[in-house]
Chains A and B, each alone.
Chain A
Amino acid sequence: MEVMILMKDQVAKLYDELSGEYNFFAPVKEKGYVAYRKISNPKEIELNYFNSKIPPKEILFPQMEVLFEFKTDGKNVIEIEDRKDLDEKNILFGIRPCDAHSFDLLEKFFAFGDFQDEIFLKKRENSLIIGIGCNSPKSTCFCTSVEGHPFQKDDMDIFLVDLGDKYLVEGISDKGNNLIQQLSWLSKASKADTIKAKELAKKAEDLITTKLDLTNTSQILESNFGNEIWKEVSENCLGCGSCTFLCPTCTCFDVIDENDQYENRGRRIRIWDTCQFCLYTLHTSGHNPRDNNIERCRNRILHKFSYYPLNYDLIGCVGCGRCIQVCPVNNDLRTIINKINNIKPKEEENVSV
C-alpha cells in the first residue's frame, strides 16, 4: 500500500470527513494536561503533545461505565436495558505506540477464557486506531525494553509520523488501508519523506536512555515470592491507586449497583479498582490474603512481569513510564526491576546432621 501525506492543516478536513460516521477521539488540552476526548470541533485537537495523563484505555474502558440499566416496579426488576451504543464506530486519533500495544494486551485480557467481555470487545472491534510515532521519547520511557519501539506500528490501523508540518500516513491493517483509500485527497509521500521518517525513527530509538534487561526477570520473580527484597521495595509505598489507574494495561474493576428508588430505576456500573487498595482482596470472612503494602506492591510487579508472561506469553508492561512519573513517593519501577534482576540466586542448603 502506498505511503501518503496528511498536512497538519488538513487534520480538520480529516475530522470533518470522518465525524459523521465515527466518534472521533483525539488529544485535547485539559487543565494543564492532555486527555483523549471525543471532540465535536477539530479546533479542540492538540497536535503538540507528548502523551496523555490518563492512558487511552479510558476511551474503550472508562473509569466509570454503565453496564446496563434496569426498571423496577418498586420491588422487583421488570426490565433490563442493555447498552445500545456498542455498534458505534470510533476513531482513536494520535495514539502512541506504547498505548496502541496496550490495546492488544487489553483485548487479550477481556477475551480470555469462557466469559468474553462483550462491551469492551464490541467497542474494540468497532474502533480504528490512528497511531503516531514518538519523535522525542521521555527519559522515563522504556518501550524498547518490553519488546516495543517508539515507531512500532503493528498494533495500529494507520501509522503517522510527524515530519514537522505534515504527517507521513501508512496503512497497516486492512481496516486502515480501506480508510486511507476513502481519503482520496491525501497526497502521495515523496522519497525524501520516507527517508526522513526512517531518520526520525532511528533518532527516537537513540533517545531512549532507560534500558531494562527483562530476559530473566520472569524466572527470577517465579522463584523469589518470599524474598526479603519485597519489604525493601515497598517500604515507602502508600497504597494509593495512582500507578494502576494511570497504567495502560491495568484492567481491574469493581461492579456496583445504583438504585434510584424515587424513579423506580437503577443501573449497574463498573468502576476502576486496584490491587493496591486494602479492600481489593478482602474476603467476606474478614481474612485478607494481601493485607499489607508489601504483598500488594509485590502483586503488581508479579502481575505485569510474571503472570502475564505465564498466561499470555506477553510482558504486561508497555514501557510508557506513567507510573514512574506519577508515584507520590517516587517508587520507581526501574529501580525495582533492577533490584530484582540483581537478586543473588539462593545457595544450596546444606542439610547438616
Chain B
Amino acid sequence: MESIIRTEKLTYSYAAAEGEASAPVLRGIDLEIEKGTFVAILGRNGCGKSTLAKQFNAILLPEGGRVLVSGMDTLDEALVLEIRRRIGMVFQNPDNQIVASVVEEDVAFAPENLGFPPAEIRARVDEALRMVGMYEFREHAPHLLSGGQKQRIAIAGVLAMRPTCVVFDEPTAMLDPQGRADVIHIIREMREEYGVTVVLITHHMNEAVYADRIVVMSEGGIAMDGTPGEVFGQVEAIRALGMDVPETTELLYELNKAGFDLPLDALTVEACAQAISRAL
C-alpha cells in the first residue's frame, strides 16, 4: 500500500519558559498512514496527538526526524503549499474556522485562494456541499446554523480543495448527539464513498470503533497500534493509559468476568448484541 503520511523518528518540543528545560512533546514517532484508510488517534490530553496532527500538514515542523507527505518533506518550504493542498485539517470549534457570511462563499474560500477559474470553483463548492449534505443551505448565513451544521460547512471548506487526506482534531467535542452523529457519518462516507484518507483524533471511544486502525499515544510516543478489536480488547492496558473502552466492550468484558465467554472485539451495537444473543 502507498503511504500518504510517514513520520520518521519525529521529535518536537514547545519553547519552554526561561530557565526551564523544554519538555519534548513528541519523542521519536515512527508512523505510517496508508492512503485510503481511516486511522483514529487516541490519547490523554497533553499526550502529543494534536501536536502530531499539526505536523501532518506543516503547521508545525519537526525538531528532529522528518515528516513525508506523499514523499514530500514538510521541511522543504517550496513544498508546503502542495502539502497543505493534499492534507486538510478540521478543528474542534467550527466558529473559529468559518470566515464568510454566506455558506457557499465560505466553502469557496480555499479554491479561490488556490486560483481556480470560477466554473471550477462553482463545481468544487457544489460537490463539497453535497458531500456533507448542506447543499440546500448554500445561501444561508453560517452563524445561524447549529454547531453540527457549522462543522459540516467547515468540512466542506476542506473538501473543496479535494484533499487526499483530512485530519480531524476532535471535530465533535463541541457538538450535541445529533451533530456528532452527522459528522461521524460524513467522515465514514468520505472514506468509503470517496476514498479520502481520514485521520481522526478523538476522546470518544465509540467514534474510534469505525476506524480501520487505532493508534494510542501516551507521553509523546505510540503506546498501542492495531485494529479497534485488537486495541479495545486489551481493556486493562487501555485503562492504564487513562483511556476507556466503548460501552459495548465494557459490557462484554464485565459479562466475561461473570462467567460468559464472549469475544471482546464485538464493538458495534449490532455486533455486541449478536454476540450476546448467540451466547444465551
Do the two chains belong together in a single complex? no
Report which B residues bind A (CB closer than 8 A).
Answer: none
Report which A residues bind B (CB closer than 8 A).
Answer: none
